[in-house]
Structure 1
Amino acid sequence: MRIPPLEPAARVVTALREAGLAPAVGGSGLLVALGLAEVANDWDVTVDADAETVTTALDAAGLSYRPLDQGRYAIGEVDLMVDFALPGPAGVEALPTRVTGEWQGLPIGDPEVWARAYRLLGRDAKADLLERYLEAREHQI
């Protein structure tokens, strides 16, 4: 398994939690956490909140960040997505932050939400991995 250092992601998560928010790790970090991939090049963290609350939390924690585009911030190897949404066939589709577990001290996002995100991004192989994972879990219940 090859992942970026956990500490920067943990600092972002802690800052957001201290502001009363519920962030979650998604993207390739989620795939690694679920045992579906061996490599994560960065940490994707989502949170449902307004941008002002998020930047206030980051400032209070002394974290340096830079805006990337609407609702997205870079904090070292962490890509923070605020009110994560992507264009879909019927317009912009909200992709809510849902914490479904914990891995290495990080809150893990919802595989179903990330399967949809990857489908909207045209990353079908990753969407397929998550959909197979969800299907296998469904059959275990």
Structure 2
Amino acid sequence: MALSLDSVQLLMKQLDGSGISYASGGSGLLYSLGLTNQVHDWDLTTDDPYEDVAAALHGWSWTQSSSGDHPFASSYRIHVADQRLPIDMIGQFAIHSQYGICRLPALSSFEWQGIPMGSPEIWAVAYALMNRKPKADMLFSYLQQHNANQDILQLLLAEPLPDFLRSKLLSLI
């Protein structure tokens, strides 16, 4: 069965019309890079304020929830109901590390099927901080083979990262 993009593309059109910036990460990013064969949901990160995103979602069925249990430290999470694949809007994506809160900006690195895809560098760090080692390792391996974005690496190195993660990023420079 082909991956249905109808709902996420319709939502993106509405977000674009409201001036909301966003980038898709999670399993959608892994799928777009050919690292997995299944998308479980759409994770759209945004740095825009909750009020702006909520206003942009008129006509959609959605609920707001906390950003999740520790280690998550994002400002908000909006779950958009969809019968095919759920869509989560994650506001000001952030994750706790042992040294503080790591802010993970909603930067788009490329477009896939009309969808702005998030930074593999940012999602490698996010998965490592979430203790999702297989996914983090897949992205770090991808980055070793495909020239990591040096500007994004520098941005991430300014965050309070654990030593093992800082070393992984430094190996990509």
How far the C-alpha of 1:12 sits from its partner, in A, is 2.3
Give runs of ≥4 in structure 1 deviating > 4 Å: none
Structure 1: state its 5+ residue gaps: none
- Is the partner of 1:135 in helix, strand or coil? helix
Structure 1 residues 130, 29: closer, same or farther in 2, change over 3 A?
Answer: same
Structure 2: state its 5+ residue gaps: 68-75, 149-173
2:40 corresponds in structure 1 to 41
Number of residue equivalences: 136
Distance 1:127 1:28 in 2: 12
Query: Which amino acid in the other structure matches residue 50 of structure 2?
Result: A
Say which of 73, 94, 109 aligns to 2:118. 109
Of 107-116 and 12-21, more deviation after overlay is shown by: 12-21
Distance 2:6 2:100 in 1: 36
Percent identity for Structure 1 against Structure 2: 38
Query: Which amino acid in the other structure matches residue 69 of structure 1?
Result: S
Distance 1:94 1:7 in 2: 30
* Bigger CA radius of gyration: 2
2:19 corresponds in structure 1 to 20
- Is 2:76 aligned against 1:67? no
Query: Which amino acid in the other structure matches residue 93 of structure 1?
Result: C
How far the C-alpha of 1:2 sits from its partner, in A, is 6.4
TM-score, normalised to structure 2, is 0.74
2:131 corresponds in structure 1 to 122
Q: Let me know the Cα RMSD of the aligned residues.
A: 1.6
How far the C-alpha of 1:9 sits from its partner, in A, is 1.3
TM-score, normalised to structure 1, is 0.90
C-alpha deviations, 1:84-114, integer Å up to 9, x for none? 1111122221110111111112111100000
